[in-house]
Chains A and B, each alone.
Chain A
């Protein structure tokens, strides 16, 4: 019943488990049959992942919003002297975690922050180490390829040495942010002051070779072309072929509010969000997990995205700030029972996991 005559050749490839080409990817972005795209992605998801949907009981910790990068798509980063700028002390960071610990099911932390102009790598490292010392049972996922490139630059250490130190301080997985679109045309335009496409990929490659898993992401819906979205996915797919170290892929639609770029660009439609989710699942045939990040998508859309190829819905978060600065209309946290309900209503099996997709509890 899912046949789409115009896309019969691609459909056959998908049903036969064959890899899709760049041209296939571009054609899929021009497909108007959203339900067919969803059905194809859902077919692949079911075959590959079964009915389990992963989520985390987690807490986001953003150590500082003071950032030298000042990307045009960001509403979180600030200069040091701007209103609302903050930089946490170790104690303040611990207070955030202590507050989140009121939830007895809290399993871990997601730590991502601005590139602070005067903090040394040791400053970041010390906070991580201190948090780990006080909360040894919480898993620690954090720092994006952008932050790690920055640490290497300011410390004079190699990427490998930076990662070794972070792992020594308790880091168990690297966050997927900062990939944006892995194209230097776009990065020069939107975020020239941070890791290039190759640098971002190099951090992931290095981490994977050391046995440290990372996530991957795509920030879309700004100045990129549809071809550039496909090329981005292919870069991730190529590296995954090489290392197998990516755990999940996260689609981030650009949220324009309060950003420099948002003055001229409107937010993506739900239609675009769902087709991008589905096409990501179809193109990234070597990724096990595709995340529907409810903070950006909104909760109802994230739930529907579970039918468009996603098998991961992120977590309870405790208090999201980065995207709410950019006008996200979703709540800043979700209760675990709400997450369980929305997964169940979609006919799936909720499973709480750690930052490496080990199942902690299943319902």
Chain B
């Protein structure tokens, strides 16, 4: 039986995270047994220039800024080469909204990667970028996605969803695409056979009802298209780290994660975000409904150093999974298992 919105709000407001975690864990176990997956991939941020200037973002620069950059195709290919050398199977290319590049720039980027590295899966561009590309080119979202798909784009990451409630978005990212736009890009992508993930960023001062509204929108679209492979959430935490060190809250994140597994009963994979929450909370997500820990995040210098450092990273991930009493497995973008540990 499916949870109602009212029940969802109750769980988020007054549910015991441990009880919810156990319920979510039982569902995870039924679906995936004792296996926890991760992927070896690399994030490539082709530009930090962005016209959106979201209030929670520390990455963007104005075009005229001194440290603004735009990678050349050669630089991007070099990064993909390093990813392949390190045993990666996927690249996630994302960037700011750089004015006036033209869709041909992205098509050319995708084609070049696919020609040189046919085995690498290109899981790239958020809905925000897709909408911007289409607008700039003066074409429909569907035509834009089809052209990118033809050039080599395999699937879409779910970023840019933040909280899918316009009232919240207008406050934190007024220039970014609104809820209906994000959902429309995803629905269109799914329709042309391009699958995606979905994300959620909590801690913007949104209400529990707004969080459930977010989950409900994703659940409804998933009922319609079935195109979401996974759901990934993380927390936004401003300023409470003035004494240094790490984030302070684990409670809210764990409860929200468990509820996301319980509420979105039609999304197969729930990913715990160790990158944003720290390795320790990341490990705990495996007891609260999470079945995947995402990427080992090949860092620039780690990739360059290749070999050893990269193995360390996989070992660390495997340790983290085994430490939770689970079996670790490397997966591809479509969640097929390609190597067990």
Which residues of A are at the interface with B, using a C-beta cutoff of 8 A?
1-2, 32-36, 38-39, 42, 266, 269-274, 298-301, 303-304, 306-308, 329-335, 338, 341-342, 345-347
A300 with B18: in contact, given A331-B243, A335-B243, A341-B248 (CB under 8 Å)? no
The interface-forming segment of B84-92, B131-139, B216-224, B281-289 is: B281-289
Query: B residues 52-95 with Cβ under 8 Å of A?
Result: none
Does A301 lie within 8 Å of B250, measured CB to CB? yes
Does A1 lie within 8 Å of B23, measured CB to CB? yes
* A331 to chain B: closest residue by CB: B245
For A35, list chain B residues within 8 Å (CB).
18-19, 21-22, 25, 287-288
For B252, list chain A residues within 8 Å (CB).
345
Does B243 lie within 8 Å of A303, measured CB to CB? no
For A36, list chain B residues within 8 Å (CB).
22
Chain B min CB distance to A282 (Å): 14
The interface-forming segment of B165-173, B297-305, B316-324 is: B316-324
* A339 to chain B: closest residue by CB: B248
For A299, list chain B residues within 8 Å (CB).
245-250
Interface string of B1-40 (1 = CB under 8 A from A): 0000000000000101111011101000000000000000
For B249, list chain A residues within 8 Å (CB).
299-300, 303, 342, 345
Does B246 lie within 8 Å of A270, measured CB to CB? no
Which residues of B are at the interface with A, using a C-beta cutoff of 8 A?
14, 16-19, 21-23, 25, 240-241, 243-254, 277-281, 283-284, 287-288, 319-320, 323-325
* A305 to chain B: closest residue by CB: B250
Does B22 lie within 8 Å of A2, measured CB to CB? yes
- Find the residue from A270, A274, A338 having the highest chain B CB count within 10 A: A270
A298 with B280: in contact, given A38-B18, A269-B323 (CB under 8 Å)? yes
Tally inter-chain residue pairs, CB-CB below 8 A. Answer: 114
For B246, list chain A residues within 8 Å (CB).
298-300, 329-331
Q: List the 10 shortest-distance A-B pairs measured between CB atoms, nearest first.
A: A300-B250, A269-B323, A331-B245, A35-B22, A270-B280, A331-B243, A304-B250, A32-B325, A299-B248, A38-B18
Chain B contact residues, majority secondary structure: helix
Which residue from A266, A271, A300, A345 sits with its C-beta under 8 Å from B287? A271
Does B281 lie within 8 Å of A300, measured CB to CB? yes
Chain A min CB distance to B320 (Å): 7
Does B281 lie within 8 Å of A301, measured CB to CB? yes
For A300, list chain B residues within 8 Å (CB).
246-250, 253, 277-278, 280-281
- Find the residue from A1, A301, A304, A330 having the highest chain B CB count within 10 A: A304
Does B18 lie within 8 Å of A270, measured CB to CB? no
* B258 to chain A: closest residue by CB: A35
Bound complex: CA of A110 vs CA of B254, how far in Å?
Answer: 32
* A301 to chain B: closest residue by CB: B280
Does B277 lie within 8 Å of A307, measured CB to CB? no
Chain A min CB distance to B341 (Å): 16
* A307 to chain B: closest residue by CB: B18
Bound complex: CA of A34 vs CA of B249, how far in Å?
Answer: 20
Chain B min CB distance to A220 (Å): 14
* A273 to chain B: closest residue by CB: B280
Does A346 lie within 8 Å of B251, measured CB to CB? yes
* B287 to chain A: closest residue by CB: A34
A270 with B325: in contact, given A300-B246, A307-B18 (CB under 8 Å)? no
Does B323 lie within 8 Å of A307, measured CB to CB? no
Bound complex: CA of A338 vs CA of B248, how far in Å?
Answer: 8
The contact sample of 28 A-B pairs, CB cut-off 8 A, is: A35-B21, A35-B288, A39-B18, A269-B319, A269-B323, A270-B279, A270-B284, A270-B323, A271-B323, A271-B324, A271-B325, A272-B323, A298-B278, A299-B250, A300-B250, A300-B280, A303-B248, A304-B250, A304-B254, A306-B251, A307-B18, A307-B251, A331-B243, A331-B246, A333-B243, A334-B248, A335-B243, A341-B248
For B240, list chain A residues within 8 Å (CB).
338, 341
Bound complex: CA of A36 vs CA of B21, how far in Å?
Answer: 10
Does A39 lie within 8 Å of B243, measured CB to CB? no
Which residue from B251, B253, B281 sits with its C-beta under 8 Å from A270? B281
Bound complex: CA of A301 vs CA of B287, how far in Å?
Answer: 14
Which residue from B14, B17, B288, B324 sits with its C-beta under 8 Å from A269? B324
Does B251 lie within 8 Å of A1, measured CB to CB? no
